Amino acid sequence: MDTGIWIMAHLVPSFLGEGIFLFMRQPTNHPDSIKGIKQMHYNRDTLVSFSPSVLHYFSLRNWCKTHIYSDLYHRKSSIKMAPDLLRVIPRFPAMLANSMTCNLAKPTNTMMGRFAQRTMEKYNNTLMRNAVKLCQIQPNHNILEVGFGPGVGLLQATTYLKGPKGRLFGLDFSEYMHKVAKTRLASHPDIGNVHLLYGRVERIPLPDQCINGVYHSNCHMYWPDPTAAAAELLRVMKPGAKMVATVDLAFLRHGASQGFFQGVCVEPDPYMEALTKMGFKDVHMEDKEDEGKTFQAIFATAPPA
């Protein structure tokens, strides 16, 4: 994304209603570049791409209301907020969709990475809250969150770990997410029992059979080897420990149909098959609902000693 198109949209009054000024910066050798900058003005309903590299028309009305107004100008009170990005944009250009997918898997400190961070903070909140709740955390448990992202789930899990021996481990391989999560947790009184680990789920830097519960949300589809991941999760979990993964299949399937998640399997079957293959017991998926939002929860239990 850093070497491609850089987009910042501003909603401004115009004779056509509220329009969009779109600033696009491309590499200086791009044939459509004019000193690297182009400025264009469109109405708020439809954006027409400005160069052959992005030959798409897509609706921006609800997207601008949700993500431009709320994130850039914080004018939430005057507009009706759309539910999320993928549900309101019919189709993204492939370059942007691929960049967004990469930054959802491993956010970077770039414009697209920061946008992915805000998307996770707003959209994944319900999923994370329920993953923590369904994990049945006890005050003195040792708990692991895989793919903690911006740290929303970590903050929620600390409220359960009130015992003197309770510890929370977070695993993520994004340096940027480590920075964001540390900032979020810095003012929390129980920060001493939270330990952030840098690494991948295929090689968790923890000893054998030390974890009472594992939870994660919307991240297993990015793991390149579900079998290796399941084996490593089983290694660090105590006998009888629970694993919970929350996911919104309808959202992921719709995103895949619109060009997102290329090269990623959003279906839960490969992960659930890997869990069963590695020896997890009672592997199953349930439909759940919270505050009007429907999602799925995958459960698995480490075998008894």
What does the domain layout of the chain look like in residue ranges?
1-82, 125-301
**Rounded distance between C-alpha atoms, residue 127 and residue 133, angstroms:** 10
pLDDT number for residue 289:
95
CATH code, 125-301: 3.40.50.150
pLDDT bin (cut points 50, 70, 90) of residue 265 is: very high
pLDDT number for residue 190:
67
Q: Would you state the structure tokens that stand for residue 75, as one six-digit string?
A: 């004018």
pLDDT bin (cut points 50, 70, 90) of residue 88 is: very low
Mean pLDDT over each residue of the chain, to the nearest integer: 76
Q: Would you state the structure tokens that stand for residue 185, as one six-digit string?
A: 């947790």
Query: Rounded mean pLDDT of 43-62?
Result: 34
Coil/strand/helix, residue 245: strand
Residue 49 has pLDDT above 50, yes or no: no
Own/partner long-range contacts of 186-191 (Cβ < 8 Å, ≥24 apart):
188/155, 188/158, 190/158, 190/161, 190/162, 191/158
pLDDT number for residue 78:
35
